Amino acid sequence: MEILKTDVTVVGAGLTGLTTAYYLSRSGVSVCLVEQKNETGGVIRTYSEQGFVFEAGPNTGVLSSSELVDLFDDLNDTVKIETAGSAAKARWIWKNKNWNALPSGLYSAVTTPLFSFWDKIRILGEPFRKPTDNKNETVSEMVKRRLGKSFLDYAVDPFISGVYAGDPSRLSVRFALPKLYRLEQEHGSFIKGSIQKAKEPKTAFQKRVTKEVFSVEGGLQSLVDALAGKIGRENLHTGCSSVAVEPFAEGFTTTFVNSSGEQVQVHSGKVVSTIGGTGLDQLLSFLTSGEKNVLSSIHYAKVVQVVACFRSWQGLPLRAFGGLMPSKENRNVLGILFPSAIFRNRAPEGGAVLSVFIGGIKRPELFEKSDEELESAALAEIRETLKCSTTPELIRVFRYAHAIPQYEKDTEVRLQVIEDVQNCYPGLFVAGNIRDGIGMSDRVSQGRLLADRILEELKMERSKTAQTV
C-alpha cells in the first residue's frame, strides 16, 4: 500500500475540483486530487474529427462572475477565452411551426407573437406587484404571478429546458434562479431591480463581468487540461476506484485503488468532495443513514446530446445562439444549439456543427432509445425546423444519466444537512453542483471561494500552532 500525506485531498476532478486544487496548490498547499474517471474535467470533453471541433458536454459558459474573469487572467499563458460572436445575441423559440426571436427591445417585445396581448399589457404592472413571502415558490408559480402564462410557456419554460433540462413547476426559484429571486425580494420587482442594478457604479474589473457567452480557443477541454497541468500530474490520480473517506483524530484518510491496481491511502487535514449526490453515500460511508438518504436523493435530468456535423450547410441561415423548444410544442428535442455559428474554427468554411439535446425531466423515456433512434429523431428535427435535407458527414451520440441536478423544493433540507455534516466534521467540505449553481461560472466561483476559505483556515491553524510552540 502506498501512503501519502497532504494538506488537502480533493475528490472529483471536474471543474469545481480542478479550480479548488489549482488555487490551493498555487498558494503552496500540498494537494492530492482523486478522480474516478480516466480523464479530468467531468463532463467537459472536446473532440476534433474530420475538420470539426465539437463538445460532448457543456457547449458554452457565461462570463458572469469575477472569479471566472480571475481564472482566465491567471491562465492567460495557456488558455485563450473566446467570446461568442454577435449571432449569440439572438435566441430562437419555436411556436406554430416557426422560429421566433426572443424580444431584445421594446418594439420586438410589443410585436412578438410569442406572448399573448393580455400578458404584454399585464407586464406593465409588474413593478407594482408585491413580492411573495412563499420561500418555496416554484419557477412556474412565480412567472405566472408576475408575468403571465404565455411568458411561462414561451420564454421561461424553454429557458429552463435549455439550462436545467427541467420542469419549471418543480424547480425552486430561490435555488434554481437565485438572482431573479433576489431581484424581487430586494427591489420588489424584476423590472425595477434590473434598472437599479444597471445604475449601480462598477469598477473597471466589475465591467469585465460582461455576461457574454464564451468558450475557449480549441474547445472547453483546453481549460480543464490547463488546470490539470498547473496542478501537476504528480498530484493528480485518475482512473481510481473504491474511493472512500474516513475521519480520524488529526483529519481524514482517503483510500482508493489507483489505475495500476495499487491501494493508496492519503492522510490529510482537510477533504473536499465535489462528486454528485448519488455517490456521496459510498464516499462518506461514516454518515448516518438519514444524512446519506438526503444527500443522495437529489433528482437528476437524463440528457442525450446528438452532435451533427455538416461539411456544407444547406438549411436556414444559422444566425443565432440556437433554438429552444417549449414544452407546449410537443417536440422530441429540448433544443438545438449552433456552436459553429458563434465560435470560430468549429466547422469547415460553409459547414455547420449542431448540438441537439433530447430527454430531460419531462421526457426521461427518450434517454432509453437506441443510438439509431436518437440520431433519427435529431435529424428529423433538423430537417423540419431548420430546413436541411442533407445528411451530416459526422454524427455522435453522448448520454448523461446524471446530467443536471434539479434544485427542487427539497434543496433547503439538503443544504442544511450539508451544513450540519460540515459542522460535525470540521475540515470536510461537500461541494460540487449539488449546491450553488450548475453553470461553469458557478463551478469556478465555488471552487475559488472554497480554496480561499481553506487557505484562511490553514493560516489560522498554523498561527495557533506557532503560538503554542
Establish if 96 belongs to a structural domain. Answer: no
**pLDDT at residue 259 tops 70:** yes
pLDDT band at 242 (very low <50, low <70, confident <90, very high): very high
Same-domain pairing of 281 and 157: no
| Terminal CA-CA length for the chain | 34
**What's the mean pLDDT in 162-171?**
97
**pLDDT at residue 210 tops 60:** yes
Same-domain pairing of 291 and 412: yes
**pLDDT at residue 469 tops 80:** no
User: C-alpha grid cell for residue 361?
Assistant: 425531466
- Amino acid 121: pLDDT: 93
Same-domain pairing of 293 and 303: no
- Amino acid 7: pLDDT: 97
| Cα separation, 324 vs 100, whole angstroms | 10
CA torsion angle for 338, 344, 348, 352 (degrees, to 10)? 0
User: C-alpha grid cell for residue 19?
Assistant: 479550480
**Residue that finishes a domain, picked among 385, 405, 425:** 405
Contact between residue 196 and residue 189 where contact means Cβ atoms under 8 Å apart: no
Number of domains in the chain: 3
Residue 242, SS3 per DSSP: strand
CB neighbour list of residue 352: distance below 8 Å, 6 or more residues apart: 309, 310, 313, 315, 318, 338, 340, 341
- Amino acid 249: pLDDT: 82
Print burial letters for 308-326: b (CB count within 10 Å at least 16), e (below 16). bbbbebebeebbbbbbbbb
- Amino acid 463: pLDDT: 80
- Among residues 393, 327, 416, which one has the least CA distance to residue 139? 327
Share of the chain above pLDDT 90, in %: 91
Establish if 439 belongs to a structural domain. Answer: yes
Same-domain pairing of 130 and 269: no
**Residue that finishes a domain, picked among 137, 163, 198:** 198
Same-domain pairing of 191 and 230: no
Reported as a single tens digit per residue, the pLDDT across 223-237 is: 999 999 999 989 999
pLDDT higher for 104 or 203? 203
Establish if 431 belongs to a structural domain. Answer: yes
**pLDDT at residue 466 tops 80:** no
**What's the mean pLDDT in 170-189?**
95
Contact between residue 341 and residue 319 where contact means Cβ atoms under 8 Å apart: yes
Reported as a single tens digit per residue, the pLDDT across 36-88 is: 999 999 999 999 999 999 999 999 999 999 999 999 999 999 999 999 999 99
**What's the mean pLDDT in 178-189?**
94
CATH number, domain of 353, equals 3.90.660.20
CATH number, domain of 229, equals 3.50.50.60
Reported as a single tens digit per residue, the pLDDT across 89-125 is: 999 999 999 999 999 887 888 899 999 999 999 988 9
**Residue that finishes a domain, picked among 135, 163, 198:** 198
User: C-alpha grid cell for residue 406?
Assistant: 434539479
Predicted model pTM: 0.95
| E strand spans, 65-122 | 81-83, 91-95, 98-101
Sheet order of strands, 300-310 included: 98-101, 91-95, 322-324, 335-337, 352-359, 300-310, 394-405
- Amino acid 115: pLDDT: 96
- Amino acid 92: pLDDT: 98
- Among residues 200, 159, 134, which one has the least CA distance to residue 412? 134
CATH number, domain of 157, equals 1.10.3110.10
Length of the chain: 469
Residue 323 is part of which domain span?
46-65+75-87+299-405
What are the C-alpha distances in Å from 115 to residues 120, 340, 350, 363?
7, 30, 35, 25
- Among residues 430, 414, 422, which one has the least CA distance to residue 298? 414
| E strand spans, 233-311 | 236-237, 241-248, 251-257, 263-273, 300-310
How many separate helices (H) and strands (E) can be counted in the chain? 17, 19
Establish if 210 belongs to a structural domain. Answer: no
**What's the mean pLDDT in 353-361?**
98
DSSP code of 172?
B
